[in-house]
């Protein structure tokens, strides 16, 4: 059973408020997206990588971004869609191995460790669907339109979903195609399986697998990466 990784990186990064999309910003001299691709390249369970980017960036990614990385894992670069959900489905449909495991990851989570990818994939091979996540640490409150607190929500059983998320190919394809037919939108792939009644297991992730969406996230990622290098 082969494993195909889909790295989704077709967003515009408008919250970063920069002209350069966040996936191409430099993290310690290397584009964020390159850190992500290299992590999957180092994962022995990953056989092939599908990189989903804006259509206008395909040539740039092929000829400049990836050309100097010396990757051992084959990488196919394809065009994304208007939404993350569309981009993921494009990635799924580009895979012709119906017996594969598909592991989906956000391109702007560059600090994912290969061993975490392996754990997620191996669990999905057994259970059919697995994601990484971490228990919520902050107190959650519900706020009304008048900016007044309406309710404090117990965090006891609440987790924050992360990526990677790994699934048997047919399960995640069926879930995405069903969502298209029903007009359902989701920012999380596991949520599409949940609505079909498919159980999804979760493994404890790490707090440093952050998603870079703001300038502060980039600064924090730089500090975490420096700490990781010191630990080696």
CB 210 within 8 A of CB 220: yes
Residue 138 has what pLDDT?
87
Token output for 170: 């047919």
Q: For residue 84, give the nearest of 5, 34, 13, 3 by alpha carbon.
A: 13
DSSP track, 36-88: HHHHHHT-TT--EEEEEE-GGGHHHIIIIITTTS--SS-EEEEE--SSHHHHH
Q: How far is CA 48 from CA 5, 88, 99, 217, in A?
A: 6, 15, 14, 29
Residue 13: the pLDDT is: 52
Summarize pLDDT for 91-105 with one digit per residue, the tens.
999 999 999 999 999
Q: State the pLDDT at residue 208.
A: 87
Calculate ∠ Cα 185-190-195, nearest 5°. Answer: 65
Q: What's the confidence (pLDDT) of residue 68? A: 87
Q: Are 162 and 209 in contact (CB under 8 A)?
A: yes
The percent of residues above 70 in pLDDT, for the chain, comes to 97
Please report, for residues 62, 117, 120, the alpha-carbon distance to residue 198 in angstroms, rounded to integers and kept in the order given: 36, 21, 17
pLDDT by position in tens, the chain (length 232): 899 999 999 876 545 556 789 999 999 999 999 999 999 999 999 999 999 999 999 999 999 999 989 999 999 999 999 999 999 999 999 999 999 999 999 999 999 999 999 999 999 999 999 999 999 988 889 999 899 999 998 888 899 999 999 999 999 999 999 999 999 999 899 999 999 999 999 999 998 899 999 999 999 999 999 988 888 6
How far does CA 175 lie from the centroid of its chain? 17
Cis before 140 (ω within 30): no
Tell me the C-alpha distance between 77 and 88, whole Å.
13
pLDDT at 100: 97
Is domain 3-231 in CATH 3.20.20.150, yes or no? no
As a whole number of angstroms, the distance between CA 4 and CA 169 comes to: 9
Q: How much is the pLDDT for 156? A: 82
- pLDDT value, residue 229: 83
Rounded CA-CA distance 48/28 in Å is 26
Domain boundaries, the chain: 3-231
Q: What integer pLDDT is reported at residue 18 of this predicted model?
A: 60
Q: What is the pLDDT of residue 231?
A: 80
């Amino acid at each position: 059973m082969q494993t195909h990784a889909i790295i989704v990186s077709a967003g515009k990064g408008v919250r970063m408020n920069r002209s350069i999309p966040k996936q191409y910003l430099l993290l310690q001299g290397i584009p964020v997206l390159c850190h992500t691709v290299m992590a999957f390249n180092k994962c022995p369970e990953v056989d092939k990588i599908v990189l989903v980017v804006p259509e206008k960036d395909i040539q740039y990614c092929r000829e400049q971004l990836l050309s100097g990385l010396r990757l051992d894992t084959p990488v196919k670069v394809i065009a994304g869609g208007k939404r993350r959900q569309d981009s993921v489905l494009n990635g799924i449909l580009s895979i012709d191995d119906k017996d594969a495991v598909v592991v989906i990851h956000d391109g702007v989570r560059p600090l994912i460790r290969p061993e975490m990818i392996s754990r997620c994939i191996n669990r999905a091979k057994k259970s059919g669907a697995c994601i990484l996540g971490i228990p919520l640490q902050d107190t959650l409150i519900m706020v009304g339109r008048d900016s007044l607190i309406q309710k404090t929500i117990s965090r006891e059983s609440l987790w924050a979903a992360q990526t990677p998320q790994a699934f048997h190919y047919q399960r995640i394809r069926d879930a995405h195609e069903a969502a298209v037919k029903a007009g359902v939108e989701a920012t999380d792939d596991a949520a599409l399986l949940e609505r079909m009644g498919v159980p999804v297991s979760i493994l404890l992730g790490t707090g440093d697998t952050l998603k870079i969406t703001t300038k502060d996230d980039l600064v924090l990622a730089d500090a975490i990466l420096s700490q990781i290098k010191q630990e080696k």
